């Protein structure tokens, strides 16, 4: 249940009234939007260096793109172009350009994601305003989306998901605008382009929205049926072109003069698109390949358990209940066609995400649930607004009570997943929910009292996810699997332990002040200095096993490093013969014992140890590939 009491002073969604002073009304709405976006920017940007480089893997690729245009185009992990990251490059391009313009720093790497977050909030506001003709409801939906814990996490981090969700929400908004537009064909071409760009950001994940968008346009468009089909074909062609141009260039580019396609065993971008980043994510084949067959099946527990549930599910059940009820209440009402179209589209969006995430047996990270967050915000507000408009009906009243009760009980359950953190909060939320449910079901209220009840229910609903979002801001995040809330098992150090005794504004400020300007990883500064001083004249300052160690070395030394085996160490690149050729050509200066096992690394390690001298630098074996044994 959400805070829909704004409806008491705003026009109804089916027949909006014009204010007496339209210019003043627009100015007020503009101030509200500006305030929301400004607060969102502050939330996503400050403090910008709390988590250092965040995901070093993508930060190192941004560094490479800032140093080499070839690395920029291919999405290489290193400026020497040995191997790419395991994603297409579009998500890296804003970071690399930011680093070129502002200089490489945690701020320049994280800035594009924060800006994408602010822009996505604006798109959610616009989408709801278009569906309801209510600027206030748009602001409400934007605020809910901005404060969803997974939104706070993703837009404060440098994974490609931030750009992906911006592109897909923009595509959804364009779809609803195409329904009644005289230029519907152009709008749908735009939808295809946006989804195609999403494919160049995270490949198969972007295509998950296609069924919902296509079905909505085919069902609700005002155009004749044949014209709708033509428009969808145009959108499909635009999608293929915008997604395929980069893929086509990579396919025809001679493999010997480009980097190895990371995440594949075949050096094929098609394998990356439809295997590792496609059906492999569903079947689990990608996980087996990446981990040598040791990955455990994820299935439904991954999306409905900690930390995924606390990332995005706080309002989802109520949003689904309210939106389904809204569709039933408006059945047969031609004045509600636009709202019904929006509800069907976002319900289809949410259902697709939930089903896919539930059946996945491949690699799954809890922050993937950012894909559910915009649908939750839109469905909760638009569906709730329709139900509130019909609150004179007994059915609508019952639905509102159930939505409030469901949200309060769910918040209690989710808060118990971190039992040592703010234990009084979950009991307070549960108690308030019981009181609100009793008031609504047992006491006859005046219309004004009903609005007060709706407001109170909305405030109770959002307090728990907001608290989780604040805890997310107050914590450091690093690595490839950041999580929301008060515990971060993969961070360099747990700055917000699960047993934290309490929360207050002063506690938050203290936590933020304790954050270091840059998170220092385990990589030795002595080793980084050695690589930096010996980088001149070499294509790569060093080679080592796996992307994590290579990325750390690149960021600390500023020099290119070969990540033998790629992301998980299992890519067959470079081969032993290929590495021997690089060393013979004088292109690699040092070799560091690898931290990630893999077939290529094992062979290369054995060869290096048999032919070159090494010294131990701060506990790390460093081989000078210019000093063979016996010289």
- Greatest mean pLDDT among 64-78, 328-342, 388-402: 64-78
Q: Which has more confidence, 114 or 390?
A: 114
Q: What pLDDT does 514 receive?
A: 36
Answer whether 35's CB lies under 8 Å from 135's CB.
Answer: no
Among residues 122, 135, 133, which one has the least CA distance to residue 165? 122
Q: Which has more confidence, 219 or 458?
A: 219
131/48 Cα distance (integer angstroms): 35
Q: What pLDDT does 485 receive?
A: 84
388/400 Cα distance (integer angstroms): 8
Please, what is the average pLDDT of the chain?
83
Q: What is the mean pLDDT of residues 115-140?
A: 94
Calculate the CA dihedral of residues 234, 240, 242, 248 and round it to 10 degrees. -150
Q: Which has more confidence, 299 or 201?
A: 201
432 pLDDT above the threshold of 90: no
Q: What pLDDT does 49 receive?
A: 65
- The residues facing 83 across adjacent strands are 260
Q: What is the mean pLDDT of residues 236-240?
A: 97
Copy the structure tokens of residue 409: 């009980």
459/307 Cα distance (integer angstroms): 23
| pLDDT tens, residue by residue, 22-38 | 565 666 677 889 999 99
Q: Which has more confidence, 143 or 522?
A: 143
Among residues 176, 137, 226, 212, which one has the least CA distance to residue 337? 176
186/181 Cα distance (integer angstroms): 9
Percent of the chain predicted with pLDDT > 90: 51
Q: What is the mean pLDDT of residues 416-429?
A: 86
Copy the structure tokens of residue 381: 């507000």
Copy the structure tokens of residue 13: 């969604």
Answer whether 158's CB lies under 8 Å from 58's CB.
Answer: yes
Q: What pLDDT does 291 receive?
A: 45
Q: Between β-strands 612-617 and 588-592, what pairing exists: parallel, antiparallel or unpaired?
A: unpaired
422: left (phi over 0), alpha (psi -120 to 50) or beta: left
- Greatest mean pLDDT among 88-92, 313-317, 526-530: 88-92
Q: What is the mean pLDDT of residues 517-532?
A: 65
465 pLDDT above the threshold of 60: yes
Q: What is the mean pLDDT of residues 147-162?
A: 95
Answer whether 432's CB lies under 8 Å from 464's CB.
Answer: no
Q: How many other CB atoms are found less than 10 A from the CB of residue 109? A: 31
- With 0.85 as the threshold, say if the pTM is over it: yes
111 pLDDT above the threshold of 90: yes
Copy the structure tokens of residue 418: 């971190």
What is the C-alpha radius of gyration for the chain, rounded to an integer number of angstroms? 26
115 pLDDT above the threshold of 80: yes
Show me where the domains of the chain are located: 525-628
Range with lowest mean pLDDT among 213-227, 228-242, 285-299, 524-538 = 285-299
Answer whether 62's CB lies under 8 Å from 87's CB.
Answer: no
Q: What pLDDT does 596 receive?
A: 65
């Amino acid at each position: 249940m959400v805070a829909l009491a704004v409806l008491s002073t705003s026009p109804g969604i089916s027949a909006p009234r014009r204010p007496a002073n339209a210019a003043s009304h627009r100015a007020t709405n503009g101030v509200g939007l500006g305030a929301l976006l400004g607060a969102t920017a502050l939330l996503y940007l400050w403090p910008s260096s709390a988590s250092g480089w965040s995901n070093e893997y993508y930060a190192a690729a941004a560094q490479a793109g800032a140093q080499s245009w070839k690395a920029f185009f291919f999405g290489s992990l290193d400026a020497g172009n040995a191997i790419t990251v395991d994603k297409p490059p579009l998500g890296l391009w804003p970071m690399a350009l930011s680093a070129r313009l502002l200089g490489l720093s945690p701020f320049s790497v994280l800035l594009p994601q924060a800006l994408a977050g602010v822009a996505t909030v604006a798109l959610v506001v616009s989408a709801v305003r278009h569906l309801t003709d209510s600027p206030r409801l748009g602001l409400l939906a934007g605020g809910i989306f901005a404060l969803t814990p997974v939104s706070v996490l993703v837009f404060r981090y440098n994974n490609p998901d931030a750009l992906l969700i911006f592109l897909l929400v923009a595509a959804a908004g364009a779809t609803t605008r195409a329904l009644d537009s005289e230029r519907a064909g152009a709008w749908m071409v735009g939808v295809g382009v946006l989804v195609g760009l999403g494919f160049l950001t995270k490949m198969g994940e972007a295509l998950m929205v296609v069924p919902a968008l296509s079905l909505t346009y085919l069902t609700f468009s005002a155009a004749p049926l044949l014209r709708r089909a033509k428009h969808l074909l145009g959108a499909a062609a635009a999608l293929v072109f915008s997604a395929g141009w980069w893929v086509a260039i990579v396919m025809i580019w001679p493999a010997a003069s480009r980097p190895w396609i990371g995440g594949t065993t075949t050096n094929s971008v098609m394998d990356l698109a439809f295997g590792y980043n496609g059906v492999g994510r569903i079947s689990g084949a990608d996980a087996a390949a990446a981990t040598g067959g040791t990955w455990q099946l994820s299935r439904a527990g991954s999306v409905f358990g900690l930390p995924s549930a606390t990332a995005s599910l706080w309002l989802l059940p109520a949003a689904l209940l309210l939106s389904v009820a809204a569709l039933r209440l408006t059945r047969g009402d031609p004045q509600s066609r636009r709202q019904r179209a929006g509800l069907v589209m976002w319900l289809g969006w949410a259902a697709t995400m939930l089903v896919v995430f539930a059946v996945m047996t491949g690699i799954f990270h809890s922050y993937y649930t950012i894909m559910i967050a915009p649908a939750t915000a839109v469905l909760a507000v638009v569906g709730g607004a329709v139900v509130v408009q019909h609150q004179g009906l007994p059915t609508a009243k019952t639905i509102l009570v159930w939505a409030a009760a469901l949200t309060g009980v769910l918040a209690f359950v989710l808060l118990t997943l971190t039992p040592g953190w703010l234990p009084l909060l979950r009991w307070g939320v549960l108690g308030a929910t019981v009181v609100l449910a009793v008031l609504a079901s047992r006491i006859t209220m005046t219309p004004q009292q009903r609005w007060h009840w709706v407001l109170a229910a909305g405030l109770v609903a959002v307090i728990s996810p907001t608290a989780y979002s604040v805890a997310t801001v107050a914590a450091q995040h690093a690595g490839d699997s950041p999580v929301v809330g008060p515990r971060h098992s993969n961070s360099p150090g747990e700055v917000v332990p699960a047993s934290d005794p309490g929360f207050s504004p002063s506690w938050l400020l203290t936590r933020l002040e304790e954050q270091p300007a840059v998170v220092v990883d385990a990589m030795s500064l002595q080793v980084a200095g050695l690589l930096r001083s010996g980088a001149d004249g070499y294509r790569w300052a060093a080679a080592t096993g796996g992307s994590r160690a290579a990325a750390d070395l690149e960021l600390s030394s500023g020099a290119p490093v070969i990540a033998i085996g790629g992301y998980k160490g299992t890519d067959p690149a470079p081969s032993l013969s290929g590495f021997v050729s690089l060393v013979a050509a004088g292109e690699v200066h040092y070799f560091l014992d690898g931290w990630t096992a893999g077939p290529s690394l094992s062979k290369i390690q054995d060869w290096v140890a048999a032919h070159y001298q090494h010294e131990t630098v701060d506990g790390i074996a460093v081989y000078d590939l210019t000093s063979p044994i016996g010289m």
